[in-house]
Structure 1
Amino acid sequence: MSEPFIPSTLDDLKAVTGLAFMQAVLSGKLPSPPMAETLGYRLTEVAPGRVVFTGTPDPAHCNPMGGVHGGWYGTLLDSAMGCAVMTTVPKGRLYTTLEYKINITRALPPGTRIAAEGVVDHGGRTTAVAHGEIRGLADGKLYATGTTTCLILNG
């Protein structure tokens, strides 16, 4: 398990743009958050206003009925949409999720490889809005969608 990125000061985190920060995570210069390992996903693409995570839910991510827990979908979409917003945040600023909503469109069988894409619809000075999708990598089926509103903070 990799060590989590914990900046020694808030100034360390604010010293780069959000895009540079996300690119550093993608390249391995900064470690992925432990949550990604726990939930079986990883960052695979970063571009301005867009990120993609890929992953595979396993039986440990299931609810008592044997289906992938809704929290798995929610966490993955929150990560994808929030990290997409992070790519638009200028140096010296941060973001936080104000709210997000997900719609699960079909059951995701454990062991299914997926891609979760987050795309920014609006990246403003004080707020950002993004949407996301979880799709099967093998079949392209849509498993869930989401939307978020994020607050852009002065560091």
Structure 2
Amino acid sequence: MTDPAPRLTPAQITAMHGLDYLRGLVAGRFAMPTLAEAIGYTLVRADPGEVAIRATAGPSHLNPMGGVHGGWYGAILDSALGCAVMTAVPAGRWYTTLEYKVNLTRALPLGTEVEATATLRHAGRTTGVADAVLRGVACGRVYATGSTTCLIMDA
């Protein structure tokens, strides 16, 4: 039996380039963040300026009316958008979301596997901008879109 992947501290994460950290998550060298475990997503791809996150909404993600809660869509998209920005964050720096916007385009049937693909549009000295699409893996339908502006700063 192998040891579980370590969960890195913020200091360990900011000591490396953001893309290296994300690729370590994809490869299973590092444990996913606790939020990923709580809402059930996995980072499946990390390339320069583009990432993909997969998730399947379960019963714990429903609103009182029985639909997938809009906050779940938002959390998946915010995570993908931030990771797209992180692909350009050098060692010794970190980022945080300044604002993000989500547009829900249709109801997501419970149990549908989705993939959020986020693309970096700009990474400067102090800001990063990205956009994303949340699609059904099997059907290709768009369930939501999103965009973000992130602040990039010294660690």
Aligned alpha-carbon RMSD (Å): 1.4
Q: Is 1:21 the counterpart of 2:21 in the alignment? A: yes
Structure 2: segments with no counterpart, 5+ residues: none
User: Share of identical aligned residues, percent?
Assistant: 52
What is the count of residue pairs matched by the alignment?
A: 152
After the TM superposition, which residues 36-75 of structure 1 pair with which residues of structure 2 at under 5 Å, given as runs?
A: 36-75=36-75
**Residue in 1 that maps onto 2:82:** 82
TM, length-normalised to structure 2: 0.93
Could you tell me which residue of structure 2 aligns to residue 107 of structure 1?
Answer: 107
Scaled by the length of structure 1, what TM-score is found? 0.93
Q: Which runs of 5+ in 1 are unaligned?
A: none
Q: 1:65 to 1:3 in 2, by over 3 A?
A: farther
1:141 is aligned to: 141
Whether contact under 8 Å (2:121, 2:131) holds in the other structure is: yes
**CA offsets per residue over residues 97-121 of structure 1, 9 Å max, x none?**
0010100000001100111111101
Segments of 4+ moved more than 2 angstroms: 2-6
**Aligned partners of 1:148, 1:137: CA distance in 2, in Å?**
23
Give the match for residue 7 of structure 2.
5
- For the residue of structure 2 that corresponds to 1:63, the secondary structure is coil
Counterpart-to-counterpart distance in 1, 2:7 and 2:153 = 20
- TM-superposition CA deviations, 1:43-71 (whole Å, max 9, x none): 11110111101111011100011100011
Q: Deviations over 1:13-60 (max 9, x none)?
A: 222101101111111111001221221211111101111011110111
Q: Distance in 2 between matches of 1:118 and 1:76?
A: 11
Distance (Å, rounded) in 1 between the aligned partners of 2:50 and 2:89: 12
Q: Secondary structure at the match of 1:72?
A: helix
SS of residue matched to 1:46: strand
| Contact 1:132 1:145 survives alignment (8 Å) | yes
The superposition leaves residues 64-96 of structure 1 with CA deviations (integer Å, 9 ceiling, x where unpaired) of 111000110000000000011001101111111
